[in-house]
Amino acid sequence: MKQLYALSFLFSLAACTTIVVDEPPVDGLVSIGFSPQAETRAAVTGTELPNGSRFNVWGGYGGNNVFSGREVTKTANGCIYQGTEYWMPGQTYNFYAVYPAGLKADAVAVTDEGTVTVSGFDCSATGDAAVDLMTASATSVLADRVINSQSAVGLKFRHLLSLLTFTFENKLASHSIDVTNLRLTIAVKADYLSTSSPSWMNHASDRKEFAFYPAEAPLGVANSVSATSAPLLVIPQENAGIIVTFTVNIREAYADGGSLVFSKRYAVPLATGEQTVADRNGGSVVVEDQWYTGCRYNYKAVIPENVMDGQDITLTVSIKDWDIEDTSVSWDDDDEGNAVNNP
C-alpha cells in the first residue's frame, strides 16, 4: 500500500532525517527526500517555498523514471509525496522539478535529459493569484553519498519570468501626490523551452492591458519620499514598443481630501536598451530591448519639484537579477526614454 513520505525539513540544507508514515523502516534502504529553496526576492516568501507549496518532480537513474511528474508538497515538517522511493546503491540520479504543481498536465513536459517545455503559459493573473513559474534540477546525484549522509536532494528553483515594479519618487517638499490609472499592455501567453535561446517563444498576438490604482484606490506618495507599486510577473518579451501610462495628481489640503490643483497623464516607453544580464550557466548575455528570464525591472519615475510649472518627469530603469543587482540603464534629457506628455 502506498503511503505518504515525510521528510524532516531543514531549509539550511543540513542533513535531514526521513520518516515513512505508518510504514516500518526497510532495513538497509534510505528513502529519497527533497529540500527545495527559491532564489531570493521571489514572489514566494523570502528564500523558501511557503508551507503548502506544491511542485512536480521528474527523474531517476539509468533510464528508470522513478519520478515522472510526481507531486511533492512542502509542509512545516518537511516534504511529502505519495509513495516511498528508495535509493539504489551504486546508481547516479538526475532530478528535475517544475513549480508550481497544478499546471495543465499536457502543458508541461520534461525529457530524460532534463529539457523542460511549458506550452501556452498564461501570466495574466496578478496579486496573490500570480504564478511564479520556476524550475530546478539536481544532476549527477550519487546514491551512495546520499545514503551515507542521510541527506535530502537540494533543489534550487530559478525564476522563468520577469518581475516589474514602478517606483514614484516625489521631489515636492510642499505636496503629497497620488498616482492613478497605471496601465500597460503586453503579451500574456507564450511557450517556454529550456534548451532554446531565447527560452520564450510563440508569444500570443492577442495582448492584455493591465490596469492598477483606480481613482478610488490610488498609490499615495508623501512629500519628499518614494512609493513602489505592487510587483507584476510577466513573460519575458520584447519591450521596445511597450508604453506605461499613469496620472499624477496633486491636491491642496491633501490629508482632508482637498481640491485637485494639478493632474497630468504621462506616457513612458519601457524599452530597456542594450543590457548585459546573467545567463543560466553562470555567464552573461547581451540583449536589447527585452525583458529577460529571471530579471527584475524597477522603473523609477521622478516627479520634480517644479512639475506644476511644466518640468517633466524623468525615468530610470534598474535591471537586476532576481537576487543580486546586475546592471542599470538610464536616459538623459535627450534620450527616448524620457516621459512624454500626453494630456
Nine-digit cell string for 279: 545567463
Best CA proximity match to 17, nearest among 141, 145, 151, 148: 151
Helix (H, G, I), strand (E, B) or coil at 312: coil
Q: Which pTM was predicted?
A: 0.82
* Helix locations, 1-131, DSSP H: none
Cis peptide before 198 (omega within 30 of 0): yes
Cell numbers standing for residue 59: 527523474
Tell me the CB-side half-sphere exposure of residue 9, using CA atoms within 13 A: 23
266, three cell numbers = 504621462
Distance CA 338, CA 332 (A): 7
Name 21's Cβ contacts closer than 8 Å, sequence gap at least 6.
Answer: 3, 4, 5, 6
Is the model's pLDDT at 204 over the cut of 90?
Answer: yes
Q: What is the mean pLDDT of the chain?
A: 81
pLDDT tens sequence across 272-306:
988 888 777 778 888 899 999 988 999 999 999 99
94-130, pLDDT tens digit by residue? 999 999 998 887 899 999 999 999 999 999 999 888 9
Q: Strand 200-201's sheet: what is its strand order?
A: 108-110, 116-122, 189-193, 200-201
- Residue matched to cell numbers 516534504: 79
- The CA distance from 274 to 254, in Å, is 41
- For residues 297 and 309, give the distance between their C-alpha atoms in angstroms, rounded to a whole number: 30
pLDDT digits (tens, 9 = 90+) for 21-73: 334 445 568 888 888 876 544 444 456 778 888 999 999 999 899 999 999 99
Cα–Cα separations (whole angstroms), residue 195 to 100, 123, 200: 20, 21, 10
Three-state SS at 205: coil
Nearest to 67 by CA among 89, 90, 97, 25: 97
What value does the mean pLDDT take over residues 337-341?
29
Q: In the predicted model, is pLDDT for residue 166 greater than 50?
A: yes
Cell 516589474 sits on residue: 164
pLDDT band at 254 (very low <50, low <70, confident <90, very high): low
Best mean pLDDT range from 158-162, 208-212, 284-288: 208-212
* β-bridge mates for residue 124, sequence order: none
Query: CA-CA distance, 11 to 35, in Å (whole number)?
Result: 7
